[in-house]
Structure 1
Amino acid sequence: MKTWKTILAAGMMSVLAATANAGGIDALRQFNNDADGISGTFTQTVQSRKKTQTSSGSFQILRPGLFKWEYSKPYQQKIIGDGKHIWLYDVDLKQITQSNQDQTIGDSPAAILSNKTALDASYSLKEDGKKDGVDYVLASPKKANAGYQFIRIGFKGNTLAAMELKDSFGNQTTIRFNGVNTKPNLSRSAFTFTPPKGVDILKN
């Protein structure tokens, strides 16, 4: 006859085994459901057939629909989504491009990070292995014309660690996240963009 200690031990082992095998999808879904705001820093590498370019900066996201992506190296550039428009401000060129946010984001990775409903609405998910302690999820777009062949989202435990994506032209982008905070103190006013005087504005 099994004692209550044996039963309890068996139960605990089952829980631990389930946790160990949870993988990236569970971490991604928990992150997607729980995070109303996100902030941190990033390093981004874009690899094309001809060259590889690395940049870095910081980001802030207030869900749904508000985000600020700021590149500091090797050039200064700001991408701000205020809920209606996306403003791309190239500081060095003193040029701003304004576009409609819904049309521009579409099913891109920005939609996954800035809108909780985009994940299940636009992507099919499956576990995609583990590397360097990071569990990856393969997010395949449900639409054939999404512009991306695939997106891989990586979690270290329950912390967002990486995104990898390959676009329809074969360019591959890898983003490594650091210092991710899912409870930042953000206000909607932080995502309001006022174009500086004397800067050209192009509208798409």
Structure 2
Amino acid sequence: MREFFACVIFAGFFSAAYGYGEHIKTLEASFTQHTKSQDSVLVYSGKLYIKAPTKAKWVYEAPTKKELYVDGDKATIYEPFLDQASVGKTKIDFLEILRKAKKQHDDTYSTDFDGTRYVLTLANNLPSKLTFTDEFDNAVEITLHNVYINRTISDDVFVFVPPAGTDIIRQY
């Protein structure tokens, strides 16, 4: 579930790191996620899309597929291998994240949310890495590649359309 929060935190940091989003409208990037436990390292990869002010989509492509959508206060987690989507409300307040995000160093911002400290690192004035420790005490590092700012992203990208046969679990 922390991956869901990471998606939203990225969206909040995205605005905070760029003058509260005054002229940044979208972010698109590929990502690699390393989740390190005491026994192993799991590596995930995929794509991330963010559109100001409150839309985000996080697509895991490997090793298993999973999609996370945020649109305002609505959140959807789709797990194709289970033929299941969980739909609910998020209590995450982007503006609160923005208020709490603090610049630590020249290229580093941090915030605490839901008991977790998230640290965003910039490279060449672009978001490059998000680190945090998840609820299982795993160290998570998400590195962005091929980062694009203000590329046109259709609102349709952020709309989950369930494939036929998908069970929808509503968690309101």
| CA displacement at 1:203 relative to structure 2 | 2.3
Closer, same or farther in 2 for the Cα pair 1:43/1:53, shift >3 Å? same
| CA displacement at 1:83 relative to structure 2 | 2.1
Identify the residue that residue 82 of structure 1 maps to in structure 2: 71
- Please tell me whether the aligned partners of residues 147 and 167 of structure 1 are also in contact (alpha carbons under 8 angstroms): no
- What is the Cα-based RMSD across aligned positions, in Å? 2.3
- Please tell me whether the aligned partners of residues 87 and 99 of structure 1 are also in contact (alpha carbons under 8 angstroms): yes
| CA displacement at 1:196 relative to structure 2 | 2.0
Identify the residue that residue 15 of structure 1 maps to in structure 2: none
Identify the residue that residue 5 of structure 2 maps to in structure 1: none
Unmatched runs of 5 consecutive residues or more in structure 2: 1-15
Alignment of 1:100-179 (within 5 A): 100-101=89-90, 103=91, 106=92, 115=94, 117-127=95-105, 136-141=107-112, 146-148=114-116, 150-167=117-134, 169-179=136-146
Could you report, residue by residue, the CA deviation over 1:33-66 in whole angstroms, capped at 9, with x for unpaired residues?
A: 4321000100001122343211000111111111
Could you report, residue by residue, the CA deviation over 1:81-105 in whole angstroms, capped at 9, with x for unpaired residues?
A: 122311111111111111203x2xx
Question: What stretches of structure 1 move > 3 A for 4+ residues in a row?
Answer: 29-34, 117-120
Q: 192-201 or 62-71, which moves further after superposition?
A: 192-201
CA distance in 2, matches of 1:119, 1:83: 14
Unmatched runs of 5 consecutive residues or more in structure 1: 1-26, 108-114, 128-134
State the percentage of identical aligned residues.
22
- Please tell me whether the aligned partners of residues 147 and 168 of structure 1 are also in contact (alpha carbons under 8 angstroms): no
- Please tell me whether the aligned partners of residues 31 and 143 of structure 2 are also in contact (alpha carbons under 8 angstroms): yes
Closer, same or farther in 2 for the Cα pair 1:124/1:31, shift >3 Å? closer
Pick the structure with greater CA Rg: 1
Q: Which structure is higher in helix share?
A: 1
Within the alignment, does 1:202 sit opposite 2:166 as a pair? no
SS at match of 2:165: coil
Identify the residue that residue 46 of structure 1 maps to in structure 2: 35
| CA displacement at 1:32 relative to structure 2 | 4.6
Q: Which structure is higher in strand share?
A: 2
TM-score, L = length of structure 2 = 0.78
Tell me how many residue pairs correspond in the alignment: 156
| CA displacement at 1:175 relative to structure 2 | 0.5
Amino acid at match of 1:164: T
SS at match of 2:88: strand
